[in-house]
Amino acid sequence: MNKFFNILTLFFSIFILFSCEPGRAENGDLLFGVNGTSGSGGGGTTVSKKLKSVTVDDGTDVITYSYTYNSDGKLTKLKSSDNSGNYELFYDANKSIDKITVTQSDGSLITTTNFSITYENGKFKEAKGTGSESDGSKFTNNFTAVYTNNKVSKITSKMVGIDSADPTVTYDLYTMTSDLTYSGSNLSNWKYKILMPLVPLPTVEINATMSDYDTHVNPFGLLPEVFNIIAAHFETDTYAVMGFSANNYRKINVVSNADNQNANYVYTYDADGYPTKAVAANLGTLTFQYQ
């Protein structure tokens, strides 16, 4: 199954990590009295903006991610310029996200996953995903999340293949877990693990430490928490983690098996305190546009 092998691309994109606001109601609204649209560090601002696009230039490839909103200001679509990952979000009568469809293209192969979202006590509980590929392969991909102090502290996803000849026969493809630790409103540590029973490889573990946060609005903090939970594991060929922080980290250390790497980000901000550019010498440039 092609989607399974695409999981391995995670380790080539692991260092372009960013983060998002941790406290949200089920409809994507922010909690803790933080409105997600106010900049700080430049005297503060009450100017409301939405993320329009993010362009990632790693020195080899340039990919733009474009965001679309409905008349209520809710995110409805994310489209990548290379079609590596396109999202469509659907809302119920209470304006809460109840379905997400993800479509990925890899050459001639198209993978589609439909998620049904459920909540408990106003928090994300589970996303049950059913998927298919254009070659006829079928699978399930289910997510759960744990909250600690109103912040997402653990994400678990499990992908199970379905035998094409006998749909009653299934096989585990992978299980991913992310353990998230915070310092105040910002993510300080992310421990990621992936177990792939069908591949003769040891369990892969990644330990990322983020620090030296600025005091400005995190662009990805403008997006719904439910979207970020799914993207954290599902969209392996863009950002490994779209995070859960109020602000933007300037330093990151990532340890994976015997590999240890560091990166430092330098930000440029607009007059309202929103980042317009993030540059890491060894990783490339991210450019943000708003509407």
Residue 210: other Cβ atoms inside 10 A? 25
Q: What is the pLDDT of residue 45?
A: 53
Q: What are phi and psi of 195, to 5 degrees?
A: -110, 120
pLDDT (0 to 100) of residue 166:
94
How many domains, in total, are found in the chain?
1
Decide if pLDDT at 208 tops 80.
yes
So what's the pLDDT on residue 238?
38
Least confident of 24-28, 222-226, 256-260: 24-28
The structure tokens listed for 212 are 């030296």
Q: Specify the pLDDT at position 198.
A: 86
Taking residues 185-203, what's their average pLDDT? 90
CATH number of the domain enclosing 152? 2.40.160.150
Per-residue CA distances from 81 to 3, 7, 61, 78, 164 (Å) = 19, 20, 11, 10, 32
In angstroms, rounded to a whole number, what is the distance separating the alpha carbons of residues 129 and 158? 10
Q: Looking at residue 273, what is its pLDDT?
A: 96
| Region 79-100 average pLDDT | 95
| Residues above pLDDT 90, as percent of the chain | 67
Q: Are 3 and 133 in contact (CB under 8 A)?
A: yes
Query: What is the percent of the chain where pLDDT is above 70?
Result: 81
Q: Is the pLDDT of residue 211 over 60?
A: yes
Cα–Cα nearest to 115, from 103, 125, 130, 93: 130
Alpha carbon separation from 154 to 69, 76, 179, 250 (Å, rounded): 28, 25, 5, 23
The half-sphere exposure of 103 on its side-chain side, counting CA atoms within 13 A, is 13
| Window from 22-36, 240-254, 267-281 with minimum mean pLDDT | 22-36
Q: How far is CA 42 from CA 34, 118, 226, in A?
A: 17, 39, 29
Confidence category of residue 243, pLDDT binned at 50, 70, 90: low
Exposure string of 110-144, with b = 16+ CB inside 10 Å and e = fewer, is ebebbbebebeeebbeebebebebeeebbbbbbbe
Region 28-44 average pLDDT: 36
User: Which residue type does 1 have?
Assistant: M
pLDDT at position 44: 47
Element of type H or E holding 230:
helix 225-234
Q: What is the mean pLDDT of residues 106-117?
A: 95
How does residue 145 score in pLDDT terms, banded at 50, 70 and 90? very high
Q: Would you tell me how many other CB atoms lie within 10 Å of the CB of residue 83?
A: 13
* Continuous segment of H or E residues that includes residue 6: helix 2-6
What is the model's pLDDT at position 50? 96
Q: What is the pLDDT of residues 37-71, one digit of tens each?
A: 333 333 345 689 999 999 999 899 999 999 999 99
- SS3 of residue 95 by DSSP: coil
Range of the domain at 204: 2-290
What pLDDT is recorded for position 138?
A: 96
- Is residue 218's pLDDT more than 60? yes
**Residue 16: predicted pLDDT:** 38
**Contacting residues for 166 by C-beta, under 8 A, at least 6 apart:** none
Q: Is the pLDDT of residue 109 over 70?
A: yes
Listed in order, strand segments (DSSP E) in the chain are: 51-57, 62-69, 75-80, 86-91, 97-106, 109-120, 123-133, 138-148, 151-162, 170-183, 186-195, 204-213, 249-256, 259-264, 266-269, 275-280, 284-290
Q: What is the pLDDT of residue 62?
A: 95
